[in-house]
Amino acid sequence: MLLRQHGSRTMSRAELEHRHADLQRFSAEIGTLDAEAVHVAARTDFDETLELLVDLAKATDASIRLAARRLALQLTIRPSRANGAYRMGTSRLSTVDDPLAGVDLDLDATLARLDQHPRLRAEDVRVRAWRSPATAYVLLVDASGSVAGPRVATALVTAAAVAARMRPDDELAVVAFWSQAVVLRPIRSIAAMTDLVGALLTLRGGGTTDLALALRTGLRQAGTARSRRREILLITDGIATAGSDPMPVAAAAGAAGARLHVLALSDEEPSYRACSRLAGAGGGRCAGLLRASSAPAAVADILRP
């Protein structure tokens, strides 16, 4: 199940033109959106184009709104490259029932099948093969202040970058937070990534930032995961303006079997220092995330072995 945020405010044509001076280039008239022009623009400036689509996805015009959401999906969601490949540095040698998966016969495990059948069959063969442990990812998205344009674009590309790493047995939770915390996708959800993109595009947040609440919510999601490897990714500027001190909550990540990583939305010294301290307390890494297009590299950096 995927929980949707209560609706977002729509934007009129006049508001959209005020925010995007070149809107006419993509929407020459009411109700139209030129998909080819969007794709061409994305090859030149991916960030600005995705920010435009994020705003258009809130357009009062329903046809523009739906077209923008389809194009945002096309730009952000890519097929997973992790399926069928092992994560470097995390694979383990395990006994499996696929004789083509490994080269070393596990004789003990194969002979143990005699307890169930008097004669061994081809499907009773057990081999030793490298397998990566399943991973639970929890993405915490700062939705305080204005969540139009850049902030949502960054969240979209980050979620897509995490999803691209996932194997079939991995899990993903996404939480949006401000003075509240809303679970957009629970850790046990089997909903498609397209549903998550829709939830992020309609996201409406608030004015203050309760980092402690966000972390507690993320730890609860991690705590219910089937996977023993748990990675929490926090997108924030590191500045809490509501709630309690987030540092003790960050330090509790290890006890929950998780690592807390921080993707810093600002490179200003006080902000980045706060993000680094949170990541350090949570046993994870900190990386800058100033543009949506840098999300894949930032995710790869903090989740490296």
Of 158, 164, 147, residue with least CA distance to 201 = 147
pLDDT range class, residue 178, cuts 50, 70, 90? very high
pLDDT above 60: residue 97: no
The upper half-sphere exposure of residue 64, i.e. CA atoms within 13 Å in the direction of its Cβ, equals 25
Indicate the residue type of 119: R
Please, what are the domains in the chain? 13-76 (no CATH), 92-131 (no CATH), 135-302 (3.40.50.410)
pLDDT above 60: residue 163: yes
Per-residue pLDDT tens for 259-301? 999 999 999 999 999 999 999 999 999 999 999 999 999 999 9
Per-residue pLDDT tens for 9-61? 788 999 999 999 999 999 999 899 999 999 999 999 999 999 999 999 999 99
In this prediction, residue 205 carries a pLDDT of 79
Of 219, 247, 263, 293, residue with least CA distance to 45 = 293
Return d(Cα 285, Cα 302) in angstroms, integer.
5
Any residues with CB less than 8 A from the CB of 249 and at least 6 apart, and which?
A: 211, 212, 215, 216, 219
Rounded to 5 degrees, φ, ψ at 212 are -60, -45
Of 213, 219, 214, residue with least CA distance to 283 = 219
Residue 1's CB is within 10 A of a number of other CB atoms, namely: 10
Taking the mean position of all CA atoms in its chain, how far away is CA 123? 38
284: which 2 tokens?
A: 């994870």
Q: Which is it for strands 258-264 and 283-288: parallel, antiparallel or unpaired?
A: parallel
pLDDT-wise least confident of 131-140, 149-158, 212-221: 131-140
176: which 2 tokens?
A: 């949006």
Per-residue pLDDT tens for 199-223? 999 888 788 999 999 999 999 999 9
Contact 127, 106 (CB under 8 A): yes
**Mean pLDDT, residues 159-181:** 94
Q: Which is it for strands 92-96 and 104-105: parallel, antiparallel or unpaired?
A: unpaired
Average confidence score pLDDT of the chain:
86
Of 232, 280, 225, 227, residue with least CA distance to 258 = 232
Task: Say which residue, 94 or 225, is predicted with more confidence.
Answer: 225
In this prediction, residue 202 carries a pLDDT of 86
SS3 call for 59 = strand
